[in-house]
């Protein structure tokens, strides 16, 4: 039973991430609770994007790896 609950939680987590990605792709504004944290996250994202080596976006790689 623990495995089933863990599996379901993993699926829920994956769906939440995919939902957030879809919202961003459709232009939904992100909720900003701590502007400094979001600014830092934005900077880290730019660094990752600059060094990205794959033709696929990160969300697609994550989605494929979880299947």
- Tokens for 13, please give them: 């987590």
| CB crowding 15-50: b at 16 or more within 10 Å, else e | eeeeeebeeeeeeeeeeeeeeeeeeeeeeeeeeeee
Into how many domains does the chain fold?
A: 1
Distance CA 64, CA 67 (A): 5
Domain span at 51: 2-65
What is the gyration radius of the CA atoms in the chain, in angstroms? Answer: 15
pTM over 0.75: no
pLDDT digits (tens, 9 = 90+) for 5-56: 888 888 888 888 888 888 888 887 666 677 788 788 888 888 887 887 888 8
pLDDT for 26 equals 83
pLDDT for 13 equals 87
């Amino acid at each position: 039973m623990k495995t089933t609950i863990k599996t379901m939680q993993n699926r829920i987590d994956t769906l939440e991430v995919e939902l957030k990605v879809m919202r961003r792709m459709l232009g939904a504004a992100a909720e900003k609770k701590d502007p400094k944290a979001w600014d830092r996250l934005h900077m880290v994202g730019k660094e990752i994007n600059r060094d990205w080596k794959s033709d696929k976006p990160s969300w697609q790689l994550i989605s494929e790896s979880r299947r």
